[in-house]
Structure 1
Amino acid sequence: MFENLFIQYKILKSYVLDKKIHIGSKGTCRYCGKVVGNTKFSKVAHSLPELIGNKFLFSMDECDECNEYFDKNLENNLANFLGVSRTICQVRGKKGIPKYKSKSGERIEVIGRDLLIIENHDSSLINVNKDTETVSIQAEYKTYVPVQVYKCFVKMAISILPEKELSTYRQCIKWVRFNQKPHNFNDKLLKMNVFFIPGNIEEPIIIALNKRIGDKKKYPNLTCFIRFDNYIFYFVIPSFSKEDKYLDVNSLNFIVPSNIDLTSEKPNKVENIAHMKYEGGWNEQIPLDEIPKEILDRIHELGLKFK
């Protein structure tokens, strides 16, 4: 089914983030339309959020006001949506791999290539299933607004949208930036597919815009593919324009088994959980002399001691 989905599209624009790239040009902001003199372009604007590991793709046509808006209203929701998995998957953000600390003082940190987990006695932070050889990490709940997470991904797609396509997606941009819903808004267009690839992934971020060449009734005009670390996100960029006037939202051939609902406008407080697979058996205790020095140093730095 997924293969059939991709043959309905051609790649419109794509980037592999393995070197620094600056896109767009200063002068007019592609999101709010303000020009130099009415706004500033002094901040470093990441086309994709730095919190997902983007250190290479930057937008010259994103003004300071829009940059601040996206940070406070979209990216913070994305961070909470991803939750503790950013630490487990070792996603390097602005300040490196994020550390987790609970209200009770429990911690999850990455030290070198190792994961340090400090839990309280009788804690429910870690659950080991020896039958399936998996470890579940149940961190404290995080709150996010689902539709703001979706908008954050759409903003990433818009950042690389060719200029000739911008007029078609003007209504979409207003929805993302100013929360202005067009008269024909339908949240059934907001389709998000998420895939998780297990293992230690050391590949550059990839983003690709795909333009429809197939059935106009079943396939949205524009979709986007984003891969970072262990995640793959594939979603619709709603146009709210004539490009999708023949689209039947009730017969979209876009859903795959890993579709998730990010349409709600209400804050969502959900489980902040991550899973890991281990190999070679589970050791309840490790000899002190086998613990890496960096971990021992960190434990001592935190004022903790071994019994």
Structure 2
Amino acid sequence: MTITIVSLLDQVLNINLPTYTDYKFFSNLFESNDKGEILTIQIANKEFKFRLSMFDELSKTNKECLTMKSVFDGIPEDSRFLVVPNKIDDTIVLYHLRQEVDKLNGITGIHSNLDKTKYEIALLYYTQNFSGNTKRRHYIGEPNKSNRVCRFCGKQIPIVSFKNTSHAISESLGNKSIICREECDICNERFSRTIEPDIANMLSFLLTIHSIHGKNGVRTTVGENFKISLDESTKGDSSVGTIKIQLNQDLPTDIEDFFKEQLQLNTSFLKYIPQNVYKCLCKYVVSVINKQYLPDFKGTIDWINSTTKYNKLPFVAIGNAQVKINAPYLILSVRKTNNYRYPYCFALFAIATIAFAFIVPYTSKDKFRFTTSNKYATFQEMIQSWYNGFDWSFNKLSSSKKTYTPIDFTINIPSECKLGRDYFIVNKNI
């Protein structure tokens, strides 16, 4: 049995009771009714804080109990909190519970950033958030290898093996913590040489200049006439290091003229197939989604596994963020009703300063493919309304032909920065 603790703290605590001790331990920790059932509403009073010493003995064999005790100890004294059965990971349900905690503690004046229409749409969906930057690994799927079935090929031991660590989101994009147990070694290797390099190539420049740490550190972006890398040996307390830009071109006599020019970088080495990027984004969704939904995504999985050829797919919204996102962040929504006006599953994926909002195609719970403007318009309006912090453009990622994204930019050196102190220009031929 799992219980969820919702309090005035930002952190929501999920406790798997058998992992720590028996139910009796927590029935002694929390207030219970005459039948010994844990009450939903609890008070973090002095008596409750005193009972937290129960964790001390337990922590001798389970160090995670110290963390749990710390969370409980951090709940404001005399405030009310909720103990709810089951693991609650639906963002909207948690929103309701947090609102209830606020009411129990007499907190008013907090308004939702969802207007009535947005809120009604939100209620249609079961929503989960996944962050690739948490200190603890988040494992998806069956812990026992002998019982695992690969989500992508449907095979299990001994036909396939599960020896390697399969990152649910590409490690090259900075994911360190979200692990899919149900991706076999064969599929993992296949994706690493087919669709995953495409999204890494598409985002290479952003991954470098925003110092996103992948499997082998920060990616070096190399083109025909340039190389951009990060030198972390110069990293100080307030910096990420030194960005190095190597150009294969002659510098003008007046170096100030150089900084006024727009640099045109030849990125033809960084080719990618647009549809493979779309496939990779949907592969992330299949990797993390609750197992109960997987049968609805058979068509999606077949498409991800297929040889890439032109398919008319929904537009993908690509947005520019105002702030840097240091690790991959995925928001996944699955429709709970039969309101076919809205897609069965859509997601938002963000890293560095870019975000993708996309419909997961080929599910069995969609009546429409959302490839025509009138069907897609509802989703487009929803994305622009919900995530108005992004500057969105709507793009076709249906092509199966290789392409690349040209990079033109200008180096703006602040007037207070001094040549030879804050930045350096080196001619390697001298």
Category of TM-score, reference length = shorter chain: 0.7 to 0.9
Percent sequence identity is 23
> How do 1:130-145 residues align onto structure 2 when only pairs under 5 Å count?
138-141=265-268, 142-145=270-273
Residue equivalent to 2:121:
8
Residue equivalent to 2:366:
244
> How do 1:1-307 residues align onto structure 2 when only pairs under 5 Å count?
8-9=121-122, 10-17=125-132, 18-19=134-135, 20-25=137-142, 26=145, 27-103=148-224, 106-112=226-232, 113=240, 114-122=242-250, 128=259, 138-141=265-268, 142-179=270-307, 187-188=312-313, 190-198=314-322, 201=324, 203-212=326-335, 216-241=339-364, 243-245=365-367, 249-250=371-372, 251=374, 252=376, 253-255=378-380, 257-268=392-403, 270-273=404-407, 275=409, 278=412, 280-281=414-415, 286-288=418-420, 290-291=421-422, 304=428
CA RMSD of aligned residues (A): 3.4
Q: Distance in 2 between matches of 1:229 and 1:6?
A: 28
Q: Distance in 1 between matches of 2:179 and 2:397?
A: 26
In the TM superposition, residue 74 of structure 1 has moved relative to its aligned partner by 0.5
Q: Distance in 1 between matches of 2:341 and 2:264?
A: 39
8 Å contact kept, 1:155–1:176: yes
**CA offset digits 1:90-129 (Å, max 9, x no partner):** 222111111133445x4211123321112233379x9855
In the TM superposition, residue 232 of structure 1 has moved relative to its aligned partner by 1.5
8 Å contact kept, 1:223–1:234: yes
Give the TM-score normalised by the residue count of structure 2.
Answer: 0.58
8 Å contact kept, 2:129–2:329: yes
Higher Rg: 2
8 Å contact kept, 1:216–1:244: no
In the TM superposition, residue 165 of structure 1 has moved relative to its aligned partner by 0.6
Give the TM-score normalised by the residue count of structure 1.
Answer: 0.78
**Which stretches in structure 1 are left out of the alignment for 5+ residues?**
none
Bigger share in helix: 2
**Partner letter of residue 8 of structure 1?**
I
Q: Distance in 2 between matches of 1:129 and 1:61?
A: 52
Higher relative contact order (CA 8 A, sep 6+): 1
In the TM superposition, residue 7 of structure 1 has moved relative to its aligned partner by 5.4
**Partner letter of residue 288 of structure 2?**
I
**Which stretches in structure 2 are left out of the alignment for 5+ residues?**
1-113, 233-239, 385-391
